[in-house]
Amino acid sequence: MILYLHGFRSSPLSMKSRLLAAQMQALGREAQWLCPQLPASPKLAIALALSLVKDVAPAELTIIGSSLGGYYATWLAEQLGCRAVLLNPAIVPLIDLEQHVGVTTEFHSDKPFEFKREYIDELRAFAVETITEPQRYFLIAATGDEVLDYRDMVAHYQGARQLLIDGSDHGISEFADYLAPVLAFCGIDADAAK
């Protein structure tokens, strides 16, 4: 089972999510793909994620998180003992998201939502100072990330499998090139036909 957690202001319509969903469908494994629209509240986002995977054995679960979703995925992987793939993950979102308190819009729909000041405190509860069992983590970080510093990511996931992209951007525009290694880490052969 793969649970994909999108980033701040993103949605299941993100390019990375759509590429992964299409690949899972092509492999006949769409029933093993979950990608919910996350609430703005970190506490509610984590509760939703936990409810979706409550009956999935940790050995059968990989959480893929992009940006803020990577922050959530790290906490969830530590709690559940499952694998996690981190795509340009946020390391200290409390600082980065302070500037976004207020009403903003989703990237893919322009639907407005409110990011409340109390959500900054909620984020604090899901901080992971140091990952345990680095072999359960796969970091993909872009040196050209214009939003987050890849060096923080590399340091935070020390000992984990790491793929450092020279250049690129926060959204990892060429993510299609990395589908096979991401799915392989999830235990799925991306080259297998339906």
Write the pLDDT tens digit of every residue in 176-192: 999 999 999 999 987 76
Q: How far is the CA of 148 from the CAs of 33, 34, 56, 75, 114, in angstroms? A: 27, 26, 32, 19, 22
| pLDDT reported for residue 110 | 76
Evaluate if residue 193 carries a pLDDT over 70.
no
- Per DSSP, the three-state class of 13 is coil
pLDDT digits (tens, 9 = 90+) for 91-113: 988 777 777 777 877 676 777 77
Q: What is the pTM of this model?
A: 0.94
Poorest-confidence range of 33-42, 43-52, 115-124?
A: 115-124
Q: Copy the structure tokens of residue 28.
A: 């006949």
What number of helices (H) and strands (E) belong to the chain?
Answer: 7, 8
Report d(CA 112, CA 76) in Å as an integer: 27
Contacts of 7 (CB under 8 A, 6+ apart): 14, 66, 67, 68, 69, 70, 90
Is the CB of residue 10 less than 8 Å from the CB of residue 67? yes
Q: Which helix (H) or strand (E) holds 112?
A: strand 112-115
Evaluate if residue 194 carries a pLDDT over 60.
no
